Amino acid sequence: MNATTSRSVVLASRPVGIPQAEHFRIVETPVPALTPGQVLVRTVYWSVEPAMRGWVNAVGNYSEPVAVGAVMRSLASGVVEASTHPDYGVGDLVTGMFGWQDHAAVDAHVISHRIDPQGPPLSASLGVLGLNGLTAYFGLLDIGEPRAGETVVVSTAAGSVGSAVGQIARIKGCRSVGIAGGENKVRQCLDVFGFDACIDYKSQDLAQELRNACPGGVDVYFDNTAGPISDVVMAQLNIGARVVVCGTASIASWDPMPSGPRVERHLLVKRARMQGLLIFDHADRFAEGRAQLASWLTQGRLKYLEDILPGIEHAPDAIAGLYRGENQGKRLIQVSRDPTSGNA
């Protein structure tokens, strides 16, 4: 017997900076009826990601901000519960921009792709086989262009993107150096993700620790912070270095624009390159990226951690929690039973 009501998380008011629990509200509505061609998805996992800060803020971004009163935009994975579209049938596992709602009636084009029920667990579709893994894959390989023997430095190294970057760097024959916050995350980077070195950005002298960890300098810097950590790394770039600008976790607000040491001198003297990454620019190659990542996963060469919050009531505070650094691994919210639980 399917549910007749759907619960969703809507944006209650527009935050400045990091969205907090009070900026969201849980609402209950009838499960929507399908119009012809639509698919009803019972979502199982919702994604929680740093980029959501940008999606709910009013400042210029990739896309229109989520409207106040609208369901929070999000990738989610779930099970088809009803379908009037020939390509999808009841029981199919799918991923797409379903939003933070436990039942989503969507046009078929909103479904990103179908998930193999015999493959890795459904939750991986939102992490290491989702945008996080793809961001690491295309950001590092296409923009960072690492060559065997080079040193790759990654900030937020214990995170779901950073940990994949470090592992892919090693797969490609590079020395991987992580920067993470606190002893636990540093240990994870070394023990779980196999970084060659990892340093704690809370240490007394980050510049000296980075020099110790990168005696040959930094060839690729994959940055998720855009703050004081980057300022230290930029000063240790090698000639011809590549900086992948992937995220800005250190910056609580871009309004007003924060200041920092100018990068031009580093870029000029080192003939270095700094380039922004938007993973959706690589969408035509997502299938290739997912296949390669899944293969490394199956071979045991790619590890990941998850932080699954049990239940919709955790959603409103979930983004703020990311910025408090409380998660270990890809943060998800589980809102219904996972049919793949028990898969390897």
Residue closer to a copy of itself, measured from CB, 109 or 265: 265
* Spatial separation of the C-alpha atoms in residues 166 and 159, rounded to whole Å: 10
Choice from 41, 274, 297, 315 touching a copy of itself (CB under 8 A): 274
The Cα angle at residue 99 between residues 95 and 343, in degrees rounded to 5: 35
Burial 290-300 (b: 16+ CB within 10 A, else e): bebbbebbeee
Of the listed pieces 274-282, 286-294, 324-332, 333-341, which binds a copy of itself according to CB under 8 A?
A: 274-282
Does 275 sit near a copy of itself (CB under 8 A)?
A: yes
Choice from 147, 265, 285, 324 touching a copy of itself (CB under 8 A): 265
Residue closer to a copy of itself, measured from CB, 89 or 276: 276
Residue closer to a copy of itself, measured from CB, 139 or 166: 139
The CA radius of gyration of the chain, in Å to the nearest whole number, is: 20
Choice from 1, 33, 148, 268 touching a copy of itself (CB under 8 A): 268
Q: How far is the CB of 104 from a copy of itself (least distance, A)?
A: 28
CA torsion sign, 299 to 305 to 308 to 314? negative
Q: Are 270 and 173 in contact (CB under 8 A)?
A: no
Q: Are 44 and 337 in contact (CB under 8 A)?
A: yes
Whether the ω angle into residue 120 lies within 30 degrees of 0, i.e. cis, is no
Interface with a copy of itself in residues 157-176 (CB under 8 A): none
Per DSSP, helices labelled H in 52-156 are 52-56, 131-138
Interface with a copy of itself in residues 235-254 (CB under 8 A): 245-248, 251, 254
Q: How far is the CB of 215 from a copy of itself (least distance, A)?
A: 17
Task: Lay out the site mask for a copy of itself across 207-226 (x = CB under 8 A, - = otherwise).
Answer: ----------------x--x
Q: How far is the CB of 242 from a copy of itself (least distance, A)?
A: 9
Longest dimension (CA), the chain: 66
Please give the residue ranges that form the binding site for a copy of itself (CB under 8 A): 60-62, 223, 226, 230, 245-248, 251, 254, 257-278, 281
